[in-house]
Chain A
Amino acid sequence: MNARTEPQLLSRISNRHLDALEEEAIFILREVAGAFERPALLFSGGKDSLVMLKLAEKAFGSGRIPYPLLMVDTGHNFPEVTDFRDYRAQQLGAKLIVRTLEDSIARGTVRLSRPDESRNPHQSVTLLEAIEEFRFDALIGGARRDEEKARAKERIFSHRDSFGQWQPKAQRPELWTLFNTRIQPGEHFRVFPISNWTELDVWQYIEREQIELPSIYYAHERQVVERRGLLVPVTELTPPKAGETVETRTVRFRTVGDITCTCPVESDAADATDVVAETLVADVSERGATRMDDKTSDASMEKRKKDGYF
């Protein structure tokens, strides 16, 4: 007997545990405001960052978030998401800083080995350049420990050295809620207030708080091709390969990132309640269903994080 295999349990799934998760996240957001001089909130317009924004509104009051929003734009974003990002930032009167991978390429700090290569791993360079430019000492992100094995190991306040590197073997003990936020010049922290949330928690929270999301999180028709078990969206950046059949399917995105490595899943879910129901019975993980770049190696996320990736 289990919620994942028993869709009728939906009506009996409690969402009251969300109160404790929300409380923890708000505590962490305020801790960043109190402990750091130049924090920023990473904000892409995706579902996890929209949840973060909602939590920040609760922590500080609407329109009073005491740090800027930062977006690292790979240039490979879904327009529905970037439009939504701008709309929400403007609605809140928040300061939005956008730094682009394209600029890093122009500066010569990012070199692509081939033009159609996934830009996702290269974000780290642009992110670290933005950290240096604004001298950010803490970056808050919406990463969750349930996403991936390397993330499951990371502290809520994750120390990064002056090269932005995560050192998994030298993590600071994190005792009670006494967070050691001391840093040397040039170092910074990555802070993950929703570390302890799962994909299901996020969707239950979106449902409970009626958080508005970009349209592509819900069912829509899209041209796709099937490739190695994934549905690859047909876009200018991801054209069909020779011999592949383009089909129109009803899909939604479980996660939204770089267009070249993010795939939708088949779905009829029209709203957050439908997505909660689908998530309860999903038998493939969020990343497994949607990410092409994580499949290359068991340690790919860990390696990228050591290089300064979020």
Chain B
Amino acid sequence: MTTQAHDHDAALRFITCGSVDDGKSTLIGRLLVDSRTVLQDQLASVSKSGETDLALLTDGLSAEREQGITIDVAYRYFATPARKFIIGDAPGHEQYTRNMVTAASSADAAVVLVDATKLKWQNPGLELLPQTRRHTLLCNLLRVPSIVFAVNKLDAVEDAKTAFTNIRGALEDFTEAAGIQAGAIVPISALKGHNVVEPQPGWAGYEGPSLLALLEQLDVTPAETEEAFAFPVQWVEKFSSSADTSQGRRVFWGRVATGEVQPGQQVTVLPSGQTATVAQVLDHAREPKAVEARHSAGIILDREVDVSRGDWLLAPGAFAPSREISATVAWLDDEPLVAGRTYWALHGHRWVKAKVKRIVHKLDVNTLAEQDANHLEPNGIGHVELALQEPLVTLPYARSRALGALVLVDTASHKTSGAVLVR
């Protein structure tokens, strides 16, 4: 492992995905144990009669231990001298896709596990498991910036080199056909620890860095500074009289979604349409400065305008508010999405009613082929048209996560029902 310092100050958030029993929990256990993050008492708690079951380090719910599967995302933390890591251990079961989508929505990287023992590895034209394709496609759809494949259990096949060569070939064919920019493909044994933390030069014909060394090098998700300024108002601070701001003014706090804000910036308020000029910008230390995308800011305007939580401050003329959204929806609720029904939609900090006008088609989640549909099943993904009660400013999700993402909430059960990615 390298101990060289990187300028990767922010923690890397990555998820592990793949099919059930591909060894996700074991891989995480291995990362934690070999980076010596797991402490003696925790290791003792998963060891019985001398055998350590690494998977038990992450399966923290009693139902998970009963069933031997991961149900919900477990978040784990470890640090090397180079970097701090936050792992989202996402479940592999199809019925828990919602939890996998949860973990992927905020991930900088995904490690997709491929179980070599489940594939016809002797065959150069082998077929990947549906869950491998599915999870890779989902990560790509959610724009996880880096996708890394870890071909696991190569210690359990007769010819690790042939197996790795053939599986790598199949992964390359698949990602190319799907238009996915894949990162590295690494042969590993989570059980034995090969190439996870320590490199194993030459094993399975691979000479590259270990999985951990790769993760230490990956970039975090870039802030959306290229787009015009957009700012969802999260909380309004009222000053009756105060020494540290202009008297009587209000401070609009929130996180800059796109672009940058500085004093002198002209803004339009959505939905009122009023315009104003930014008089002062505060950071969390309440010191005046310019603030760019992804950072929290307090904005003081030059005049009293009607602004409340949920409103947006926008660069004038840069966005076109719309009452219609065409979107890819990942359906997460047990109740199906039904055309004609109205849901709550949350965009930034704004809640609006959204009616499902039409389901254009649903996607075969294994291939992303389009099929006719009039509802979306739990864990289904489809192209949906929504009519909004009030106009919103959105950008395609492919351009901006901050402006292109919404969630749908069931008006009766209040469950978080859908992940909406604007097309």
Contacts and interface: CB of A to CB of B under 8 A. Distances in A.
Interface of A: 1-6, 9, 12-14, 16-17, 19-23, 26-27, 30-31, 33-35, 58-61, 64, 145-146, 148-153, 168-169, 171-178, 180, 182-184, 195-196, 198, 200-201, 282-285, 288-289, 298-299, 302-303
Contact of B11 (A3, A17, A58, A282): A17
A168 B84 contact: no
A150 B61 contact: yes
B241 interface: no
B72 A171 contact: yes
A27 B101 contact: no
A1 B63 contact: no
Interface centre among B58, B86, B236, B348 (most CB of A within 10 A): B86
Contacts of B254: 30
Contact of B86 (A196, A284, A299): A196
Nearest to A287: B41
A115 to B, nearest CB: 30
Given A2-B80, A17-B11, 4 more contacts: A2-B81, A30-B296, A176-B407, A196-B75
A12 B60 contact: no
Contacts of B35: 2
Contacts of A146: 76-77
Contacts of B405: 175-176, 178
Contacts of B414: 180, 182-184
B41 A145 contact: no
Contacts of A171: 72, 99
B9 interface: yes
Contacts of A14: 5, 9
5 contacts: A14-B5, A61-B286, A149-B61, A169-B61, A175-B419
A184 B61 CA distance: 26
A175 B416 contact: yes
Contact of A285 (B39, B76, B101, B296): B39
Contacts of A1: 1, 3, 81
A16 B415 CA distance: 36
B284 A58 contact: yes
A185 to B, nearest CB: 11
B62 interface: yes
Interface centre among A174, A184, A195, A303 (most CB of B within 10 A): A174
A21 B284 CA distance: 13
A17 B84 contact: yes
Nearest to B410: A182
A299 B285 contact: no
Contact of B41 (A30, A35, A176, A285): A285
A237 to B, nearest CB: 25
A173 B64 CA distance: 18
B409 A180 contact: yes
A4 B416 contact: no
A170 to B, nearest CB: 8
Interface string B50-64: 000000001111110
Shortest 6 CB-CB contacts between residues of A and residues of B: A149-B60, A288-B41, A16-B9, A34-B235, A299-B62, A182-B414
Contacts of B295: 23
A19 B11 CA distance: 10
A19 B42 CA distance: 29
Contacts of B65: 298-299
A26 B298 CA distance: 12
Interface in B1-59: 1, 3, 5, 9-11, 35-37, 39-42, 45, 58-59
A153 B416 contact: no
